[in-house]
Structure 1
Amino acid sequence: MQIKIDIDCTPEEARSFLGLPDVAPMQAVLMKEIERSMTSSLHAMEPEQLFKTWLPAGLQGLESIQQAFWKQMAGATGTPADKKKDK
């Protein structure tokens, strides 16, 4: 035997029926604080500094991958990369 109950209510109604607190005001205050903090941090930094902060690890990783790739390609031709430079 199966019993199916379909309740049509809004999330706010369900929250109050179950006795859960309404966190919307707290969430709004926290989001405004986060937005204010991020905005002040962004205004304090220059675009060049932002890129240096956000991208150095990614760019260094990309350079390492490129170097390894070219080293492998030089090795795949049968001539070591060091001997190619000497010629």
Structure 2
Amino acid sequence: MKVTVEIDCTPEEARTFFGLPDVQPMQAKIMAEMERRMLAEMDRFSPEALLRSWMTLAPQSPEQVQDVFNRMFQQSFGAGTKPPV
């Protein structure tokens, strides 16, 4: 035997019927706070700001480039071994 029951109600009506709390006011406050924080931090994540921060990480002189490659090869091949030719 198979029984199908279809209930047509809104989410608010179902929440009230089951005795669940209405969390919409809390959700609205949280979303407003998230929006405020995102808008306050938006300048930090602009393309110009990200590019400036990435450029400070790039080596600025030939010695720094050589040092970066030396450290990279030492880490990948081990401190006492030579890279394969």
Cα drift, residue 11 of structure 1: 0.5
Once superposed, which parts of structure 1, at least 4 consecutive aligned residues long, lie more than 6 Å away? none
Q: What is the match of residue 4 of structure 1?
A: 4
Gaps of 5+ in 1: 57-87
Shift of 1:49: 1.5
Aligned equivalents of 1:46, 1:9: Cα separation in 2: 43
With normalisation by structure 2, the TM-score equals 0.53
What is the Cα-based RMSD across aligned positions, in Å?
Answer: 2.5
TM-score for both structures, normalised by structure 1: 0.52
* 1:16-45 residue CA offsets vs partner (Å, 9 max, x unmatched): 1011111111001000000000101114x3
Number of residue pairs matched?
54
Higher helix share: 1
- Compared with structure 1, are the counterparts of its residues 18 and 52 closer, same or farther at alpha carbon in structure 2 (3 Å cutoff)? farther
Taking the TM superposition and a 5 Å limit, the aligned residue runs for 1:1-87 are 1-43=1-43, 45=44, 47=46, 48-51=48-51
Amino acid at match of 1:38: M
